[in-house]
Amino acid sequence: MRFHDHQQAGEELARLLLDRAADNDGTDVIVLALPRGGVPVAAEVARTLGVPLDVLVARKIGAPRHSEFGIGAIAGEDPPVYDRRALQMLGLAEDELASDVARERAELHRREALYREGRPPPAVEGRTVILVDDGLATGVTARAALRHLRSRRPARLILAVPVCAPDAAETIRRDADDVVCLFRPNSFRSVGEWYEEFAQVSDDEVIATLRDPGFVRSGPGTRPASHRR
pTM: 0.91
Q: For residue 44, how many other CB atoms are within 10 A of its CB?
A: 22
Radius of gyration, CA atoms only, the chain: 17
C-alpha 160/C-alpha 182 separation (Å) is 9
Helix axes 6-20 and 38-49, enclosed angle (nearest 10) = 40
pLDDT band of residue 26 (cuts 50, 70, 90) is low
Q: What is the pLDDT of residues 156-187, one digit of tens each?
A: 999 999 999 998 888 899 999 999 999 999 88
Q: Is 55 helix (H, G, I), strand (E, B) or coil?
A: strand
C-alpha 72/C-alpha 101 separation (Å) is 9
Residue 178 has a pLDDT of 95
pLDDT band of residue 225 (cuts 50, 70, 90) is very low
Using CB atoms within 10 Å of the CB of residue 92, give its burial: 0 to 12 exposed, 13 to 18 middle, 19+ buried.
middle
**Which residue ranges form the domains of the chain, and what is each CATH number?**
6-57+122-227 (3.40.50.2020)
DSSP code of residue 168: H
- Among 68, 127, 65, 118, smallest CA distance to 96 is for 65
Using CB atoms within 10 Å of the CB of residue 7, give its burial: 0 to 12 exposed, 13 to 18 middle, 19+ buried.
middle
Residue 218 has a pLDDT of 56
Q: How would DSSP label each residue in 116-157?
A: HTTPPPPP-TTSEEEEE-S-BSS-HHHHHHHHHHHTT--SEE
Helix axes 98-116 and 203-211, enclosed angle (nearest 10) = 40
Cα dist. 124→32, 96, 205, 217 in Å? Answer: 10, 34, 24, 13
Cα dist. 153→56, 125, 128, 157, 178 in Å? Answer: 15, 5, 10, 9, 16
Going across the sheet that includes 81-82, the strands are: 58-63, 66-75, 81-82
Q: Assess contact for 2 and 195: CB atoms under 8 A.
A: yes
pLDDT band of residue 50 (cuts 50, 70, 90) is very high
